[in-house]
């Protein structure tokens, strides 16, 4: 099983930091390979375990509430999320969920608004307000990231903090094939944005673990309430993700039929096609 360079050289999440207890060896799979890690007072050491005698040290990094590993000697520079440095924000893990689908399908679902009234009924959307208004997509060539701005959707209960239906504003940011962040209206402080990161661990091409990290301005809800809201949403998406066929994301332009609401997803697929990403995709 070959792994393309873009994916191989990158950082990949393996756990929410909240879930990593000290001095305990954890083992899991990343890109089809067995890895393990231990957190101690000095930091995190990580290993790639190819066999009982064949063990290599690999890089580990703790940032954005998540533990990231990389197989590369010189991993790609980590992307920047300034909101995580703001002192009045709460960084809460919404849990890590294993899903039997390519992580790329999970990212694409995260970027989609058209499913809100049907999958997250009466929470993130409701009929008949199903129209997806035109929004703007651009490719930041310097950072090599994709941004979708001016996205909005009428939501009955758009977040744990929302007390009435609002027109939720969204910004979507795709930083890596397996990582995306959405920024949404922050009801208590409308001039700022709440950030929600979806950092996907590609276990292999057909399995992933979705690590969700909230970086919110919120003084009202408990961690448990925030998690409950997020997990309800994810549970609804889970039913969809495990029932998508094929499991890997088709990249050929003519394979699945987009409409204007899918401009961001089409840009995402095109971006990966042009970068030469193969892992977790179907290339016809």
Partner 1 sequence: MNKVDLNQWFPIATPEDLPKRHVFHATLMGQEMAVWRDDNGAVNVWENRCPHRGLRLTLGANTGTELRCQYHGWTYETGTGGCTFVPAHREATEPSKARVNSFPAREKHGLIWTSLGQPAGEPISILDDAQLVNAVKTNLHSTVVGTEIDNLISVLRSNLTAFVDVFGVSDVDDLHLKTMQQDRAILVTKTGAVAIHLYLQRATITKTLVHAQVLTPGRSGYELQKNFAFAMNSIRRLAEAQTAELITIKDISDQTIEEVEAVKENLSKAPPTQYLCEVVTRTQETGDINSYWLKPIGYPLPAFSAGMHVSITTPDGCIRQYSLVNAPDEQESFIIGVKKELQSRGGSKSMHELVKVGTQLKLTLPRNGFPFVPTGKRPILVAGGIGITPILCMAQALSQQGTPFEIHYFARGAEHVPFQDRLTALGASLNLHFGLGPDETRAKLADIMWEHEPNSIDVYTCGPQPMIETVSAVALEHGVAEDSIRFEFFSKKNDTPVSDEEYEVELSKTGHSFVVPSGSTLLQACLDNNVQIEASCEQGVCGTCMTAVVSGDIEHHDTYLSKKERESGKWIMPCVSRCKSKKIVLDL
Contact segment (CB under 8 A) with partner 1 among 67-75, 134-142, 167-175, 194-202 equals 134-142
Question: What's the CA gap between 203 and 102, in Å, rounded?
Answer: 9
- Ordered strands of the 208-216 beta sheet: 90-99, 208-216, 193-202, 179-185, 166-176, 145-155, 136-140
Q: Which residues 181-220 are close enough to bind partner 1 by CB under 8 A?
A: 203-204, 206-207
**CA angle at 202 for the pair 179 and 98, rounded to the nearest 5°:** 100
Token output for 9: 């050289």
Residue 153 is inside which H or E element, if any?
Answer: strand 145-155
- Residues 243-248: contacts with CB under 8 Å, at least 24 apart: 244/101, 244/105, 246/282, 247/100, 247/101, 247/102, 247/105, 247/205, 247/206, 248/102, 248/104, 248/105, 248/205, 248/206, 248/280, 248/281, 248/282
Q: Does 114 bind partner 1 (CB under 8 A)?
A: yes
Contact segment (CB under 8 A) with partner 1 among 3-11, 14-22, 46-54, 131-139 equals 131-139
How many C-beta neighbours within 10 Å does residue 265 have?
20
Q: Which residues 135-164 are close enough to bind partner 1 by CB under 8 A?
A: 137-139
Which residue in 45, 76, 149, 266 binds partner 1 (CB under 8 A)? 266
Compare residues 194 and 205 and give the one whose CB is closer to partner 1.
205
Compare residues 186 and 241 and give the one whose CB is closer to partner 1.
241
Question: What's the CA gap between 235 and 214, in Å, rounded?
Answer: 16
Which residue in 130, 169, 221, 231 binds partner 1 (CB under 8 A)? 130
Taking the complex as a whole, the smallest distance from the CB of residue 187 to partner 1 amounts, in Å, to 25
Which residue in 117, 158, 177, 202 binds partner 1 (CB under 8 A)? 117
- Taking the mean position of all CA atoms in its chain, how far away is CA 10? 15
SS3 179: strand
Taking the complex as a whole, the smallest distance from the CB of residue 110 to partner 1 amounts, in Å, to 13
Q: Does 13 bind partner 1 (CB under 8 A)?
A: no
Q: Does 118 bind partner 1 (CB under 8 A)?
A: yes
Compare residues 19 and 131 and give the one whose CB is closer to partner 1.
131
Compare residues 26 and 84 and give the one whose CB is closer to partner 1.
26
Q: Which residues bind partner 1 (CB under 8 A)?
A: 29, 98, 108, 112, 114-115, 117-119, 127-128, 130-132, 137-139, 203-204, 206-207, 239-240, 243-246, 250, 253-254, 256-263, 266, 270
């Amino acid at each position: 099983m070959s792994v393309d360079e873009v994916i191989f050289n990158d950082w990949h999440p393996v756990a929410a930091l909240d879930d990593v207890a000290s001095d305990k060896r954890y083992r899991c799979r990343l890109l089809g390979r067995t890895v393990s890690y231990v957190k101690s007072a000095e930091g995190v050491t990580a290993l790639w375990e190819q066999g009982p005698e064949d063990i290599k040290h690999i890089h580990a990094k703790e940032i954005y509430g998540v533990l990231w590993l990389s197989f590369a000697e010189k991993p790609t520079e980590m992307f920047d999320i300034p909101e995580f440095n703001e002192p009045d924000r709460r960084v809460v893990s919404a849990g890590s969920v294993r899903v039997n689908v390519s992580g790329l399908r999970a990212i694409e679902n995260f970027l989609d608004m058209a499913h809100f009234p049907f999958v997250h009924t009466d929470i993130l959307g409701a009929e008949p307000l199903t129209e997806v208004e035109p929004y703007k997509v651009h490719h930041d060539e310097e950072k090599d990231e994709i941004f979708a701005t001016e996205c909005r959707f009428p939501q009955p209960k758009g977040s744990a903090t929302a007390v009435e239906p609002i027109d939720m504003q969204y910004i979507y940011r795709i930083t890596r094939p397996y990582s995306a962040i959405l920024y949404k209206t922050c009801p208590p402080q409308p001039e700022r944005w709440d950030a929600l990161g979806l950092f996907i661990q590609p276990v292999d091409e057909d399995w992933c673990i979705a690590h969700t990290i909230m970086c919110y301005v919120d003084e009202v809800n408990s961690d448990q309430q925030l998690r409950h809201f997020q997990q309800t949403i994810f549970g609804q998406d889970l039913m969809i993700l495990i029932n998508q066929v094929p499991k890997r994301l088709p990249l050929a332009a003519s394979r699945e039929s987009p409409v204007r609401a899918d401009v961001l997803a089409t840009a995402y697929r095109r971006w990966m096609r042009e970068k030469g990403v193969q892992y977790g995709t179907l290339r016809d």
